[in-house]
Chain A
Amino acid sequence: MMTASSPLLQIEQLKTYYPIKKGVFSRTVGHVKAVDDVSLCIYEGETLGLVGESGCGKSSFGRSIVRLEDPYEGRIWFDNEDITSRKQKELKRVRTRLQIIFQDPYASLNPRQRVADILAEPYIAHKLVPRSEVQVRVNRLLDMVGLPKAYKNRYPHEFSGGQRQRIGIARAIAFEPKLIVCDEPVSALDVSIQAQILNLLADLQQELNLTYLFIAHGIGAVKYISTRVAVMYLGKIVEIGDKDELFRSPKHPYTQILLQAYPKPDPTLRGDKRIVIQGDVPSPAHPPAGCRFHTRCPYVQAVCRSEEPALGPDAHAVACHYPLA
Protein backbone atom coordinates (compact mmCIF):
# COMPACT_ATOMS: atom_id res chain seq x y z
CA MET A 1 0.00 0.00 0.00
CA MET A 2 2.33 2.68 -1.23
CA THR A 3 0.86 6.11 -1.12
CA ALA A 4 2.14 9.41 -2.34
CA SER A 5 1.79 10.83 1.16
CA SER A 6 4.90 11.79 3.06
CA PRO A 7 6.54 8.92 4.90
CA LEU A 8 5.96 8.43 8.63
CA LEU A 9 9.61 7.61 9.12
CA GLN A 10 12.38 8.72 6.84
CA ILE A 11 15.93 7.53 7.35
CA GLU A 12 18.68 9.32 5.47
CA GLN A 13 22.14 7.79 5.25
CA LEU A 14 22.03 6.48 8.79
CA LYS A 15 25.29 5.18 10.20
CA THR A 16 25.58 3.52 13.59
CA TYR A 17 29.19 2.81 14.47
CA TYR A 18 30.56 1.34 17.68
CA PRO A 19 34.06 2.51 18.55
CA ILE A 20 36.79 -0.11 19.05
CA LYS A 21 39.04 1.03 21.87
CA LYS A 22 42.51 -0.21 22.58
CA GLY A 23 45.46 0.48 24.83
CA VAL A 24 45.96 2.18 28.18
CA PHE A 25 44.32 5.41 27.07
CA SER A 26 41.52 3.61 25.19
CA ARG A 27 42.20 5.33 21.94
CA THR A 28 39.58 4.71 19.30
CA VAL A 29 41.38 2.57 16.76
CA GLY A 30 38.44 1.81 14.51
CA HIS A 31 34.70 1.31 14.29
CA VAL A 32 32.37 -1.62 14.05
CA LYS A 33 30.10 -0.45 11.27
CA ALA A 34 26.85 -2.03 12.45
CA VAL A 35 24.67 0.17 10.27
CA ASP A 36 26.47 1.74 7.35
CA ASP A 37 24.71 4.30 5.22
CA VAL A 38 21.12 3.10 5.24
CA SER A 39 18.33 5.18 3.73
CA LEU A 40 14.72 4.09 3.68
CA CYS A 41 11.16 5.25 4.29
CA ILE A 42 8.31 3.70 6.19
CA TYR A 43 4.80 4.76 5.23
CA GLU A 44 1.81 4.95 7.51
CA GLY A 45 -0.11 1.71 7.98
CA GLU A 46 2.44 -0.61 6.37
CA THR A 47 4.67 -3.25 7.86
CA LEU A 48 8.22 -3.17 6.65
CA GLY A 49 9.97 -6.47 7.28
CA LEU A 50 13.73 -6.30 7.78
CA VAL A 51 15.60 -9.56 7.31
CA GLY A 52 19.23 -10.56 7.43
CA GLU A 53 21.44 -13.03 9.23
CA SER A 54 22.63 -12.59 12.82
CA GLY A 55 25.04 -9.70 13.24
CA CYS A 56 24.10 -7.87 10.06
CA GLY A 57 23.01 -4.78 12.01
CA LYS A 58 19.23 -5.25 12.08
CA SER A 59 18.85 -4.70 15.81
CA SER A 60 21.31 -1.80 15.86
CA PHE A 61 19.26 -0.23 13.10
CA GLY A 62 16.02 -0.71 15.03
CA ARG A 63 17.45 0.70 18.23
CA SER A 64 19.00 3.65 16.42
CA ILE A 65 15.61 4.57 14.98
CA VAL A 66 14.06 4.80 18.46
CA ARG A 67 17.26 6.51 19.59
CA LEU A 68 18.27 3.88 22.13
CA GLU A 69 21.60 3.94 20.31
CA ASP A 70 23.14 7.17 19.18
CA PRO A 71 23.62 7.31 15.44
CA TYR A 72 27.07 8.24 14.19
CA GLU A 73 25.83 10.07 11.13
CA GLY A 74 22.67 10.56 9.14
CA ARG A 75 19.17 11.84 9.76
CA ILE A 76 16.07 10.32 11.27
CA TRP A 77 12.79 12.06 10.44
CA PHE A 78 9.82 10.79 12.37
CA ASP A 79 6.36 12.29 11.97
CA ASN A 80 7.89 15.36 10.27
CA GLU A 81 10.31 15.91 13.14
CA ASP A 82 14.07 15.52 13.02
CA ILE A 83 14.85 13.34 16.03
CA THR A 84 18.47 12.56 15.10
CA SER A 85 20.18 14.65 17.73
CA ARG A 86 17.47 15.05 20.33
CA LYS A 87 18.63 14.55 23.91
CA GLN A 88 17.00 11.77 25.90
CA LYS A 89 14.86 14.25 27.86
CA GLU A 90 13.60 15.88 24.68
CA LEU A 91 12.76 12.47 23.29
CA LYS A 92 10.20 11.92 26.04
CA ARG A 93 7.39 13.41 23.95
CA VAL A 94 8.38 11.35 20.94
CA ARG A 95 8.34 8.12 22.95
CA THR A 96 4.56 8.16 23.18
CA ARG A 97 4.40 7.87 19.39
CA LEU A 98 7.49 5.78 18.67
CA GLN A 99 7.87 2.52 20.54
CA ILE A 100 9.84 -0.70 20.44
CA ILE A 101 9.14 -4.33 21.31
CA PHE A 102 12.24 -6.18 22.42
CA GLN A 103 13.56 -9.54 21.39
CA ASP A 104 14.05 -11.29 24.72
CA PRO A 105 10.91 -11.20 26.86
CA TYR A 106 12.83 -12.81 29.71
CA ALA A 107 15.39 -10.04 30.06
CA SER A 108 13.44 -7.01 28.95
CA LEU A 109 11.07 -6.82 31.94
CA ASN A 110 12.29 -5.49 35.28
CA PRO A 111 12.11 -8.53 37.59
CA ARG A 112 11.26 -6.42 40.62
CA GLN A 113 8.13 -4.83 39.21
CA ARG A 114 4.64 -6.23 39.15
CA VAL A 115 2.91 -6.28 35.80
CA ALA A 116 0.59 -3.51 36.95
CA ASP A 117 3.60 -1.30 37.81
CA ILE A 118 5.40 -2.09 34.54
CA LEU A 119 2.33 -1.01 32.58
CA ALA A 120 1.44 1.96 34.79
CA GLU A 121 4.91 3.48 34.67
CA PRO A 122 4.59 5.13 31.23
CA TYR A 123 1.27 6.75 32.20
CA ILE A 124 2.73 8.06 35.44
CA ALA A 125 5.95 9.28 33.81
CA HIS A 126 4.24 11.14 30.99
CA LYS A 127 1.44 12.55 33.16
CA LEU A 128 -0.96 12.37 30.23
CA VAL A 129 -3.55 10.40 32.17
CA PRO A 130 -4.94 11.35 35.60
CA ARG A 131 -3.68 9.09 38.39
CA SER A 132 -7.14 7.80 39.15
CA GLU A 133 -7.52 6.54 35.61
CA VAL A 134 -4.17 4.75 35.38
CA GLN A 135 -5.41 1.39 36.65
CA VAL A 136 -8.37 1.54 34.25
CA ARG A 137 -5.89 2.00 31.41
CA VAL A 138 -3.73 -0.86 32.67
CA ASN A 139 -6.75 -3.15 32.73
CA ARG A 140 -7.59 -2.13 29.19
CA LEU A 141 -4.04 -2.87 28.01
CA LEU A 142 -4.13 -6.34 29.55
CA ASP A 143 -7.44 -6.92 27.87
CA MET A 144 -6.09 -5.82 24.49
CA VAL A 145 -3.17 -8.26 24.60
CA GLY A 146 -5.30 -11.11 25.93
CA LEU A 147 -4.01 -11.42 29.49
CA PRO A 148 -6.46 -11.91 32.39
CA LYS A 149 -6.72 -8.89 34.72
CA ALA A 150 -6.18 -11.24 37.64
CA TYR A 151 -2.51 -11.49 36.62
CA LYS A 152 -1.94 -7.81 37.35
CA ASN A 153 -0.14 -8.31 40.64
CA ARG A 154 2.21 -11.02 39.46
CA TYR A 155 5.90 -10.62 38.78
CA PRO A 156 7.40 -11.31 35.33
CA HIS A 157 9.06 -14.56 36.43
CA GLU A 158 5.63 -16.06 37.02
CA PHE A 159 4.78 -15.88 33.32
CA SER A 160 5.66 -17.97 30.27
CA GLY A 161 7.66 -16.53 27.37
CA GLY A 162 4.58 -15.83 25.27
CA GLN A 163 2.79 -14.14 28.15
CA ARG A 164 5.86 -12.04 28.87
CA GLN A 165 6.00 -10.92 25.26
CA ARG A 166 2.32 -9.94 25.57
CA ILE A 167 3.32 -7.76 28.53
CA GLY A 168 6.08 -6.24 26.40
CA ILE A 169 3.57 -5.51 23.65
CA ALA A 170 1.06 -4.05 26.12
CA ARG A 171 3.79 -1.73 27.37
CA ALA A 172 4.62 -0.58 23.86
CA ILE A 173 1.00 0.24 22.90
CA ALA A 174 0.28 2.21 26.10
CA PHE A 175 -0.13 5.48 24.21
CA GLU A 176 -1.29 3.99 20.91
CA PRO A 177 1.94 4.88 19.11
CA LYS A 178 2.19 5.50 15.40
CA LEU A 179 5.25 3.37 14.76
CA ILE A 180 6.44 0.30 16.62
CA VAL A 181 9.84 -1.22 15.96
CA CYS A 182 9.44 -4.95 16.56
CA ASP A 183 12.97 -6.17 17.24
CA GLU A 184 12.73 -9.91 16.62
CA PRO A 185 9.65 -10.15 18.82
CA VAL A 186 9.07 -13.84 18.21
CA SER A 187 12.53 -15.35 17.75
CA ALA A 188 12.87 -16.20 21.48
CA LEU A 189 9.52 -18.03 21.54
CA ASP A 190 8.34 -21.54 20.72
CA VAL A 191 7.01 -21.97 17.21
CA SER A 192 3.45 -22.57 18.44
CA ILE A 193 3.57 -19.37 20.48
CA GLN A 194 5.15 -17.42 17.61
CA ALA A 195 1.95 -17.68 15.58
CA GLN A 196 -0.15 -16.41 18.49
CA ILE A 197 2.07 -13.38 18.98
CA LEU A 198 2.17 -12.66 15.23
CA ASN A 199 -1.63 -12.80 15.12
CA LEU A 200 -1.83 -10.49 18.13
CA LEU A 201 0.49 -8.01 16.39
CA ALA A 202 -1.59 -8.19 13.21
CA ASP A 203 -4.85 -7.67 15.14
CA LEU A 204 -3.43 -4.72 17.05
CA GLN A 205 -2.21 -3.20 13.81
CA GLN A 206 -5.76 -3.20 12.44
CA GLU A 207 -7.30 -2.01 15.68
CA LEU A 208 -4.90 0.84 16.43
CA ASN A 209 -3.79 1.66 12.88
CA LEU A 210 -0.16 0.89 13.73
CA THR A 211 2.87 0.94 11.48
CA TYR A 212 5.52 -1.69 12.07
CA LEU A 213 9.17 -2.07 11.34
CA PHE A 214 9.37 -5.82 11.79
CA ILE A 215 12.91 -7.06 12.32
CA ALA A 216 13.47 -10.81 12.13
CA HIS A 217 15.79 -13.44 10.84
CA GLY A 218 13.01 -15.96 10.32
CA ILE A 219 11.72 -15.60 6.77
CA GLY A 220 8.40 -17.21 7.75
CA ALA A 221 7.38 -14.54 10.24
CA VAL A 222 8.40 -11.73 7.89
CA LYS A 223 6.51 -13.27 4.97
CA TYR A 224 3.41 -13.60 7.15
CA ILE A 225 3.24 -10.10 8.55
CA SER A 226 4.99 -7.73 6.13
CA THR A 227 3.70 -5.63 3.30
CA ARG A 228 7.19 -4.64 2.16
CA VAL A 229 10.49 -6.35 2.86
CA ALA A 230 14.06 -5.03 3.12
CA VAL A 231 17.08 -7.34 3.10
CA MET A 232 20.13 -6.31 5.08
CA TYR A 233 23.67 -7.57 4.69
CA LEU A 234 26.64 -6.35 6.72
CA GLY A 235 25.11 -3.01 7.68
CA LYS A 236 23.59 -2.21 4.31
CA ILE A 237 20.23 -2.66 2.65
CA VAL A 238 20.86 -4.82 -0.41
CA GLU A 239 17.30 -5.14 -1.63
CA ILE A 240 13.96 -3.60 -0.79
CA GLY A 241 10.56 -4.11 -2.36
CA ASP A 242 6.99 -5.21 -2.17
CA LYS A 243 6.74 -8.49 -0.28
CA ASP A 244 5.13 -10.62 -2.99
CA GLU A 245 7.39 -9.32 -5.71
CA LEU A 246 10.54 -9.73 -3.66
CA PHE A 247 9.65 -13.27 -2.65
CA ARG A 248 8.60 -14.18 -6.18
CA SER A 249 11.57 -12.72 -8.02
CA PRO A 250 14.47 -11.73 -5.80
CA LYS A 251 16.98 -9.58 -7.63
CA HIS A 252 19.97 -9.75 -5.32
CA PRO A 253 21.94 -12.99 -5.15
CA TYR A 254 21.98 -12.73 -1.35
CA THR A 255 18.18 -12.45 -1.21
CA GLN A 256 17.90 -15.47 -3.47
CA ILE A 257 20.19 -17.53 -1.24
CA LEU A 258 18.46 -16.32 1.91
CA LEU A 259 15.05 -17.32 0.58
CA GLN A 260 16.32 -20.71 -0.53
CA ALA A 261 17.91 -21.36 2.83
CA TYR A 262 14.53 -21.10 4.50
CA PRO A 263 13.24 -24.64 5.13
CA LYS A 264 10.07 -25.33 3.16
CA PRO A 265 7.15 -27.03 4.82
CA ASP A 266 6.34 -28.91 1.58
CA PRO A 267 8.41 -32.12 1.36
CA THR A 268 7.90 -32.42 -2.42
CA LEU A 269 10.02 -29.30 -2.88
CA ARG A 270 12.97 -30.76 -0.99
CA GLY A 271 14.65 -32.02 -4.13
CA ASP A 272 15.12 -28.51 -5.55
CA LYS A 273 18.70 -27.68 -6.20
CA ARG A 274 20.04 -24.97 -3.94
CA ILE A 275 22.94 -22.60 -4.12
CA VAL A 276 24.92 -23.03 -0.93
CA ILE A 277 26.52 -19.85 0.35
CA GLN A 278 30.28 -19.97 0.79
CA GLY A 279 32.40 -18.65 3.66
CA ASP A 280 31.57 -16.54 6.67
CA VAL A 281 30.19 -13.05 7.13
CA PRO A 282 33.15 -10.63 6.95
CA SER A 283 33.91 -8.49 9.99
CA PRO A 284 31.81 -5.34 10.14
CA ALA A 285 34.91 -3.57 11.47
CA HIS A 286 36.68 -4.17 8.14
CA PRO A 287 33.99 -4.62 5.52
CA PRO A 288 35.25 -5.70 2.10
CA ALA A 289 35.78 -3.06 -0.56
CA GLY A 290 33.34 -2.79 -3.42
CA CYS A 291 30.16 -4.80 -3.02
CA ARG A 292 30.10 -6.16 0.51
CA PHE A 293 28.75 -9.46 -0.65
CA HIS A 294 31.45 -10.09 -3.26
CA THR A 295 33.45 -12.42 -1.00
CA ARG A 296 30.58 -14.89 -0.92
CA CYS A 297 28.66 -14.15 -4.10
CA PRO A 298 28.39 -17.03 -6.61
CA TYR A 299 28.07 -14.56 -9.53
CA VAL A 300 30.98 -12.29 -8.58
CA GLN A 301 32.62 -10.22 -11.36
CA ALA A 302 35.70 -7.97 -11.42
CA VAL A 303 33.70 -4.76 -10.98
CA CYS A 304 32.06 -6.10 -7.80
CA ARG A 305 35.43 -6.13 -6.02
CA SER A 306 36.19 -2.48 -6.68
CA GLU A 307 32.95 -0.56 -7.05
CA GLU A 308 30.18 -0.42 -4.52
CA PRO A 309 26.73 -0.78 -6.07
CA ALA A 310 24.12 1.78 -5.02
CA LEU A 311 20.53 1.09 -4.03
CA GLY A 312 18.24 2.60 -6.66
CA PRO A 313 15.18 4.76 -6.01
CA ASP A 314 12.72 2.25 -7.52
CA ALA A 315 9.88 0.62 -5.61
CA HIS A 316 11.73 -2.67 -5.97
CA ALA A 317 15.31 -1.54 -5.56
CA VAL A 318 18.48 -3.62 -5.47
CA ALA A 319 22.10 -2.82 -4.74
CA CYS A 320 23.83 -5.10 -7.23
CA HIS A 321 25.89 -4.59 -10.39
CA TYR A 322 24.35 -7.65 -12.01
CA PRO A 323 20.85 -8.07 -10.59
CA LEU A 324 19.10 -11.35 -11.27
CA ALA A 325 16.40 -11.27 -13.90
Chain B
Amino acid sequence: MFIDPNTPVEMLEMRKELLGLNDPVILQYFKWLLNLLQGQLGYSFSSYAPVTTIIGERLGPTLLLASASLIFGLLIAIPVGILSAVKQNTKFDYIMTGLSFIGTSIPQFFLGLGLIYICAVQFKLFPTGGMMTLGGPGDFWDRLRHMVLPVFVLGIVIAGKKVRYVRAGMLDVLKMDYLRTANSKGLHPFHVINKHALRNALIPIITVVAMEIPLLLGGSILIEQIFQWPGIGQLTIQSILSRDYPILMGLNLVAALIVLSTNLLTDLLYAAADPRIQYT
Protein backbone atom coordinates (compact mmCIF):
# COMPACT_ATOMS: atom_id res chain seq x y z
CA MET B 1 0.00 0.00 0.00
CA PHE B 2 2.32 2.70 1.22
CA ILE B 3 5.49 0.81 0.25
CA ASP B 4 8.37 1.78 -1.97
CA PRO B 5 7.95 -0.43 -5.11
CA ASN B 6 11.70 -1.10 -5.10
CA THR B 7 11.59 -3.01 -1.78
CA PRO B 8 12.86 -6.59 -2.25
CA VAL B 9 10.22 -9.33 -2.06
CA GLU B 10 12.04 -11.22 0.75
CA MET B 11 11.94 -8.19 3.00
CA LEU B 12 8.24 -7.74 2.30
CA GLU B 13 7.58 -11.37 3.22
CA MET B 14 9.62 -11.00 6.40
CA ARG B 15 7.67 -7.93 7.34
CA LYS B 16 4.32 -9.64 6.59
CA GLU B 17 5.29 -12.57 8.81
CA LEU B 18 6.34 -10.19 11.58
CA LEU B 19 3.08 -8.25 11.41
CA GLY B 20 1.07 -11.49 11.37
CA LEU B 21 -0.50 -10.71 7.99
CA ASN B 22 -0.05 -14.35 6.89
CA ASP B 23 -2.26 -15.66 9.72
CA PRO B 24 -5.86 -16.66 8.96
CA VAL B 25 -8.32 -13.73 9.24
CA ILE B 26 -10.05 -15.30 12.26
CA LEU B 27 -6.79 -15.51 14.13
CA GLN B 28 -5.90 -11.95 13.18
CA TYR B 29 -9.30 -10.82 14.48
CA PHE B 30 -8.85 -12.53 17.84
CA LYS B 31 -5.36 -11.13 18.17
CA TRP B 32 -6.83 -7.68 17.55
CA LEU B 33 -9.56 -8.38 20.09
CA LEU B 34 -7.03 -9.54 22.67
CA ASN B 35 -5.01 -6.37 22.12
CA LEU B 36 -8.17 -4.32 22.40
CA LEU B 37 -8.97 -5.86 25.77
CA GLN B 38 -5.50 -4.81 26.91
CA GLY B 39 -6.14 -1.26 25.70
CA GLN B 40 -3.98 -1.64 22.60
CA LEU B 41 -5.42 -0.33 19.33
CA GLY B 42 -2.19 -0.16 17.42
CA TYR B 43 -0.24 2.86 16.21
CA SER B 44 -1.14 5.71 13.92
CA PHE B 45 0.36 5.43 10.42
CA SER B 46 1.12 9.13 10.30
CA SER B 47 2.30 10.05 13.80
CA TYR B 48 3.31 6.60 15.15
CA ALA B 49 1.67 7.50 18.45
CA PRO B 50 -0.64 4.90 20.06
CA VAL B 51 -4.21 5.19 18.75
CA THR B 52 -5.67 5.09 22.27
CA THR B 53 -3.58 8.10 23.29
CA ILE B 54 -4.55 10.11 20.21
CA ILE B 55 -8.26 9.35 20.52
CA GLY B 56 -8.15 9.85 24.28
CA GLU B 57 -6.78 13.36 23.79
CA ARG B 58 -9.52 14.23 21.31
CA LEU B 59 -12.48 12.60 23.06
CA GLY B 60 -12.63 15.08 25.94
CA PRO B 61 -13.12 18.24 23.84
CA THR B 62 -15.79 16.54 21.71
CA LEU B 63 -17.73 15.30 24.72
CA LEU B 64 -17.50 18.78 26.22
CA LEU B 65 -18.78 20.39 23.02
CA ALA B 66 -21.52 17.81 22.46
CA SER B 67 -22.85 17.83 26.02
CA ALA B 68 -22.77 21.61 26.27
CA SER B 69 -24.68 21.88 22.98
CA LEU B 70 -27.22 19.28 24.06
CA ILE B 71 -27.83 21.03 27.37
CA PHE B 72 -28.06 24.43 25.67
CA GLY B 73 -30.44 23.03 23.07
CA LEU B 74 -32.69 21.37 25.64
CA LEU B 75 -32.71 24.42 27.90
CA ILE B 76 -34.33 26.23 24.99
CA ALA B 77 -36.42 23.39 23.58
CA ILE B 78 -38.16 22.15 26.73
CA PRO B 79 -39.51 25.44 28.14
CA VAL B 80 -40.35 26.82 24.70
CA GLY B 81 -42.02 23.55 23.66
CA ILE B 82 -44.11 23.45 26.84
CA LEU B 83 -45.16 27.10 26.56
CA SER B 84 -45.95 26.65 22.88
CA ALA B 85 -48.23 23.74 23.70
CA VAL B 86 -49.91 25.45 26.65
CA LYS B 87 -50.48 28.57 24.54
CA GLN B 88 -51.38 26.63 21.42
CA ASN B 89 -52.40 28.75 18.42
CA THR B 90 -51.36 32.02 20.00
CA LYS B 91 -48.86 34.50 18.60
CA PHE B 92 -46.14 33.04 20.85
CA ASP B 93 -46.83 29.56 19.49
CA TYR B 94 -46.74 30.69 15.87
CA ILE B 95 -43.52 32.64 16.32
CA MET B 96 -41.79 29.78 18.12
CA THR B 97 -42.93 27.17 15.62
CA GLY B 98 -41.66 29.44 12.85
CA LEU B 99 -38.31 29.95 14.56
CA SER B 100 -37.94 26.21 15.14
CA PHE B 101 -38.58 25.65 11.45
CA ILE B 102 -35.76 28.07 10.64
CA GLY B 103 -33.51 26.44 13.24
CA THR B 104 -34.11 23.02 11.77
CA SER B 105 -33.59 23.97 8.17
CA ILE B 106 -30.57 26.27 8.38
CA PRO B 107 -27.38 24.41 7.37
CA GLN B 108 -24.90 24.21 10.24
CA PHE B 109 -21.88 25.19 8.13
CA PHE B 110 -23.71 28.24 6.84
CA LEU B 111 -24.77 29.37 10.30
CA GLY B 112 -21.28 28.63 11.64
CA LEU B 113 -19.47 30.57 8.96
CA GLY B 114 -21.99 33.40 9.16
CA LEU B 115 -21.54 33.71 12.89
CA ILE B 116 -17.75 33.60 12.57
CA TYR B 117 -17.93 36.40 10.04
CA ILE B 118 -20.31 38.56 12.06
CA CYS B 119 -19.37 37.85 15.68
CA ALA B 120 -15.70 37.03 15.33
CA VAL B 121 -14.44 38.92 12.30
CA GLN B 122 -16.65 42.03 12.26
CA PHE B 123 -17.31 42.61 15.94
CA LYS B 124 -14.46 40.58 17.46
CA LEU B 125 -16.72 39.41 20.27
CA PHE B 126 -15.53 35.83 20.15
CA PRO B 127 -12.48 34.04 18.75
CA THR B 128 -12.80 32.56 15.26
CA GLY B 129 -11.90 29.06 16.37
CA GLY B 130 -9.84 26.78 18.53
CA MET B 131 -10.44 25.68 22.09
CA MET B 132 -8.23 28.22 23.85
CA THR B 133 -5.99 31.17 23.04
CA LEU B 134 -2.57 29.97 21.97
CA GLY B 135 -0.09 31.07 24.59
CA GLY B 136 -2.99 32.62 26.50
CA PRO B 137 -4.16 31.82 30.02
CA GLY B 138 -6.25 28.81 28.90
CA ASP B 139 -8.45 29.21 31.98
CA PHE B 140 -12.17 28.57 32.30
CA TRP B 141 -13.30 31.94 30.92
CA ASP B 142 -10.98 31.69 27.96
CA ARG B 143 -12.34 28.26 27.05
CA LEU B 144 -15.90 29.44 27.57
CA ARG B 145 -15.36 32.27 25.09
CA HIS B 146 -14.14 29.75 22.56
CA MET B 147 -17.10 27.48 23.18
CA VAL B 148 -19.85 30.07 22.69
CA LEU B 149 -20.10 30.00 18.89
CA PRO B 150 -19.79 26.23 18.23
CA VAL B 151 -22.17 25.41 21.10
CA PHE B 152 -24.64 27.98 19.81
CA VAL B 153 -24.57 26.54 16.28
CA LEU B 154 -24.97 22.93 17.39
CA GLY B 155 -27.45 23.82 20.13
CA ILE B 156 -29.74 25.97 18.00
CA VAL B 157 -30.26 23.11 15.56
CA ILE B 158 -31.07 20.72 18.42
CA ALA B 159 -33.45 23.25 19.93
CA GLY B 160 -35.16 23.74 16.57
CA LYS B 161 -35.80 20.05 16.15
CA LYS B 162 -36.73 19.28 19.75
CA VAL B 163 -39.15 22.15 20.25
CA ARG B 164 -41.50 20.42 17.84
CA TYR B 165 -41.27 17.10 19.66
CA VAL B 166 -41.78 18.65 23.09
CA ARG B 167 -44.71 20.69 21.79
CA ALA B 168 -46.34 17.70 20.09
CA GLY B 169 -45.79 15.48 23.13
CA MET B 170 -47.27 18.06 25.46
CA LEU B 171 -50.26 18.69 23.19
CA ASP B 172 -51.05 14.98 23.32
CA VAL B 173 -50.93 14.94 27.10
CA LEU B 174 -52.74 18.25 27.58
CA LYS B 175 -55.82 16.75 25.91
CA MET B 176 -55.96 14.00 28.53
CA ASP B 177 -58.79 13.84 31.04
CA TYR B 178 -56.43 13.41 33.95
CA LEU B 179 -55.24 16.97 33.51
CA ARG B 180 -58.80 18.10 34.06
CA THR B 181 -58.77 15.91 37.17
CA ALA B 182 -55.57 17.59 38.34
CA ASN B 183 -57.13 21.01 37.80
CA SER B 184 -60.24 20.03 39.69
CA LYS B 185 -58.08 19.05 42.67
CA GLY B 186 -57.20 22.74 42.95
CA LEU B 187 -53.49 22.24 42.28
CA HIS B 188 -51.30 25.14 41.25
CA PRO B 189 -51.25 25.44 37.41
CA PHE B 190 -47.46 25.09 37.39
CA HIS B 191 -47.74 21.88 39.38
CA VAL B 192 -50.32 20.57 36.92
CA ILE B 193 -48.11 21.28 33.90
CA ASN B 194 -44.89 20.07 35.49
CA LYS B 195 -46.02 17.07 37.53
CA HIS B 196 -49.00 15.81 35.58
CA ALA B 197 -48.41 16.86 31.98
CA LEU B 198 -44.64 17.03 31.46
CA ARG B 199 -43.89 13.79 33.29
CA ASN B 200 -46.30 11.94 31.06
CA ALA B 201 -44.87 13.54 27.93
CA LEU B 202 -41.30 12.60 28.87
CA ILE B 203 -41.07 9.16 27.25
CA PRO B 204 -41.28 10.28 23.61
CA ILE B 205 -39.06 13.27 24.44
CA ILE B 206 -36.38 11.02 25.96
CA THR B 207 -36.48 8.82 22.86
CA VAL B 208 -35.85 11.62 20.39
CA VAL B 209 -33.27 13.33 22.58
CA ALA B 210 -31.28 10.11 22.96
CA MET B 211 -31.40 9.55 19.21
CA GLU B 212 -29.87 12.99 18.87
CA ILE B 213 -26.64 12.09 20.70
CA PRO B 214 -25.05 9.94 17.94
CA LEU B 215 -26.23 12.48 15.36
CA LEU B 216 -24.61 15.18 17.42
CA LEU B 217 -21.24 13.46 17.10
CA GLY B 218 -21.76 13.29 13.36
CA GLY B 219 -22.71 16.96 13.29
CA SER B 220 -19.61 17.86 15.28
CA ILE B 221 -17.40 16.62 12.41
CA LEU B 222 -18.45 19.66 10.41
CA ILE B 223 -18.53 22.11 13.28
CA GLU B 224 -15.16 21.03 14.64
CA GLN B 225 -13.71 21.58 11.20
CA ILE B 226 -15.21 25.04 10.89
CA PHE B 227 -14.25 26.13 14.40
CA GLN B 228 -10.90 24.27 14.52
CA TRP B 229 -12.10 22.44 17.61
CA PRO B 230 -9.55 19.75 18.52
CA GLY B 231 -12.05 16.90 18.91
CA ILE B 232 -12.66 13.53 17.30
CA GLY B 233 -14.62 15.11 14.47
CA GLN B 234 -11.57 16.95 13.29
CA LEU B 235 -9.46 13.84 13.90
CA THR B 236 -11.81 11.83 11.69
CA ILE B 237 -11.36 14.20 8.77
CA GLN B 238 -7.58 14.30 9.21
CA SER B 239 -7.37 10.50 9.43
CA ILE B 240 -9.49 10.00 6.34
CA LEU B 241 -7.36 12.43 4.35
CA SER B 242 -4.13 10.74 5.49
CA ARG B 243 -5.58 7.20 5.19
CA ASP B 244 -4.73 6.51 8.81
CA TYR B 245 -6.62 3.22 9.12
CA PRO B 246 -5.70 2.31 12.73
CA ILE B 247 -7.14 5.61 13.94
CA LEU B 248 -10.25 5.27 11.77
CA MET B 249 -10.85 1.79 13.18
CA GLY B 250 -10.45 3.17 16.66
CA LEU B 251 -12.89 5.99 15.89
CA ASN B 252 -15.43 3.50 14.56
CA LEU B 253 -15.12 1.56 17.77
CA VAL B 254 -15.68 4.70 19.83
CA ALA B 255 -18.72 5.60 17.74
CA ALA B 256 -20.18 2.12 18.25
CA LEU B 257 -19.60 2.35 21.99
CA ILE B 258 -21.30 5.73 22.15
CA VAL B 259 -24.36 4.48 20.26
CA LEU B 260 -24.64 1.40 22.46
CA SER B 261 -24.24 3.29 25.71
CA THR B 262 -26.80 5.89 24.59
CA ASN B 263 -29.29 3.12 23.96
CA LEU B 264 -28.63 1.68 27.40
CA LEU B 265 -28.99 5.13 28.93
CA THR B 266 -32.31 5.61 27.11
CA ASP B 267 -33.73 2.43 28.55
CA LEU B 268 -32.62 3.36 32.05
CA LEU B 269 -34.15 6.83 31.65
CA TYR B 270 -37.46 5.26 30.58
CA ALA B 271 -37.62 3.45 33.88
CA ALA B 272 -36.77 6.63 35.75
CA ALA B 273 -39.40 8.63 33.86
CA ASP B 274 -42.23 6.11 34.05
CA PRO B 275 -42.64 4.14 37.26
CA ARG B 276 -44.74 1.58 35.41
CA ILE B 277 -41.62 0.47 33.51
CA GLN B 278 -39.48 -1.87 35.55
CA TYR B 279 -36.59 -3.99 34.43
CA THR B 280 -36.28 -7.23 36.32
Contact = CB atoms under 8 A, between A and B. Distances in A.
A122 B188 CA distance: 11
14 contacts: A63-B180, A89-B188, A95-B184, A104-B177, A107-B176, A107-B177, A111-B200, A112-B275, A121-B185, A125-B188, A125-B191, A155-B275, A157-B276, A172-B184
Contact of B184 (A100, A107, A109, A157): A100
Contact of A171 (B176, B181, B183, B191): B181
Given A110-B181, A111-B178, A122 B186 contact: yes
Nearest to A118: B181
A295 to B, nearest CB: 32
Interface of A: 21, 26, 63, 66, 68, 88-89, 91-96, 99-100, 102, 104, 107-112, 114, 121-122, 125-126, 155, 157, 168, 171-172
Given A26-B89, A125-B191, A155-B276, A108 B186 contact: no
Nearest to B90: A26
Contacts of B259: none
Contacts of A168: 181
Contacts of B184: 66, 68, 95, 99-100, 172
Interface of B: 89, 176-178, 180-189, 191, 196, 199-200, 274-276
A104 B189 CA distance: 22
Contacts, number: 67
SS of B interface (majority): helix
Contacts of A104: 177
B251 to A, nearest CB: 40
Nearest to B275: A112
Contacts of B177: 102, 104, 107-108
Given A125-B191, A171-B181, A112 B89 contact: no
B178 A96 contact: no
Nearest to B191: A125
Given A88-B189, A99-B184, 14 more contacts: A26-B89, A89-B189, A95-B185, A110-B181, A111-B178, A111-B200, A111-B276, A112-B275, A112-B276, A114-B275, A122-B185, A125-B185, A157-B276, A171-B185
A108 B181 CA distance: 6
A109 B181 contact: yes
